[in-house]
Amino acid sequence: MSNIVVVGAQWGDEGKGKIVDLLTESAHVVARYQGGHNAGHTVMIKNEKYVLHVIPSGVLHKGKTCIIGNGVVIDPKSLIEEIEGLKDRKIYVGKNLFISGGAHVIMPYHMLLDGKNEESKGPKKIGTTGRGIGPAYVDKMSRVGFRMLDLLDTNGFREKLKANLADVNFLLEKKYHSGKLRLEKIYSEYMKYAEYLSPFITDTVVLVNKFMESGKDVLFEGAQGTLLDIDHGTYPYVTSSNASVGGVCTGLGVSPKRIDGIVGVMKAYTTRVGGGPFPTELKDKLGEDIRLKGGEYGATTGRPRRCGWLDFVSLRHAIRINGFTSIALTKLDVLDDLDTIKICMSYTYEDPYKRCECSKKGIACKITDMPQDARVLELCGPVYKEFKGWKANTEGVKKLKDLPKQARAYIDFISEALNVEINIVSTGQRRDEVVIVKDPFKSNA
């Protein structure tokens, strides 16, 4: 028995969907532990593209159990559309899917407030997807949120909705000068969702622990990435949940003692969506070329991703936070045509407030640890190590020995410098375009 976590090591969009899909072959259960439908996991099976938002990627495999944990926030309408979309493509969704009764529900006013809040920030926008994720987590922490099990209590749901709308409508009218939301319309809509989703709702804490106790192999799947973690990311340019490994314990009710391996997923370069500091960002034609070749557009929103070189400062932070036991390196093939490839080894920083000894002496500070303050990170410059490109096609390569010498040298350097084994290398979009050095489930068995 092995229980493996897949975690994004960067700002999300690292290719976790493909890695989860790949590892699901060795798992019995796939469980999602945080986030909402603001994330999209893209899986290519042959020439078929599947984009999943809340349902675990394991649903694409027959005979696998899928769990949506209490740490996830759920838009019932979006989830039903996702289920129906899979069914239309002949993917079975039924007794293989379980939804936590403790998972919080995204309400129409959450999406409305999300958009209004972003608009009010002007040029200081965080870059949310507008899907209501943040406001739903706010209500969760304020203890006024709806949980999936609340959908099953028709009278209680109506009374609580009435109380919540009184506050929401006051805010909409007085702050945003917007019209009121109607109780009966929302109530009627959500009762229809309750009828559809009620067969899936259960106590998943009990369920997932029973699976582990019975010897089932469980794969824990998250959304976003470590640098978007609400506690350990580049705050305030972060998501609203714990996207790092700690989210498994709180988002599914799993003891840390149950976790046998932690696979960190990282691209061979770096991307991020939305606002926030990005020291290695390439704002030139090269950045655009990487975006185009890598298809760096959001699976959920279609927004173009900002692209840059690999960043060891941020990756060391991700390794420290998560304790990766191995790394899955994705999109190696995107770098095939480059003459030179760079890795950021450290930052330089000149403190405008002269608070550190370096700045007092008129010299730039060398930074090797990720700054907690996003304002400091905004002023950091990258210090690069250059590598000769391999200038050869790696797309579809399935054996490490078949990769170009310079590509193998690049992989080896990353592994040795970060002191973590790279056991999976993705060499293309499709499920079978991958080099597997070690299967995390088999190496932990």
Furthest CA-CA distance within the chain: 68
Active site residue 13: yes
Question: Which of 21, 28, 37, 41 is labelled catalytic?
Answer: 41
Give the Cα separation of 107 and 146 in Å (integer): 8
Contacts (Cβ under 8 Å, ≥6 apart) of 15:
265, 267, 328, 330, 331, 426
Active site residue 41: yes
Tell me the CA end-to-end span of the chain in Å, nearest whole number: 6
* CA dist list (Å): 108 to 113, 192, 197, 244: 9, 14, 17, 28
Omega prior to 236 cis, within 30 of 0:
yes
Residue from 341, 323, 322 nearest 332 by CA: 341
Question: Which of 13, 75, 260, 333 is labelled catalytic?
Answer: 13
Give the Cα separation of 333 and 235 in Å (integer): 31
Give the Cα separation of 271 and 310 in Å (integer): 9
* Sequential DSSP letters for 354-420: --SHHHHTT-PEEE-S--S-HHHHHT-EEEEEEEE---S--TT--SGGGS-HHHHHHHHHHHHHHT-
Q: Which residues pair with 220 in a beta bridge?
A: 5, 31
Give the Cα separation of 385 and 369 in Å (integer): 17
Query: Contact 244/226 with Cβ under 8 angstroms?
Result: yes
Give the Cα separation of 303 and 397 in Å (integer): 29
* CA dist list (Å): 288 to 303, 305, 381: 13, 10, 20
- Buried b vs exposed e over 7-21: b needs ≥16 C-beta within 10 Å? bbbbbbbbbbbbbbb
Which residues are known to be catalytic? Answer: 13, 41
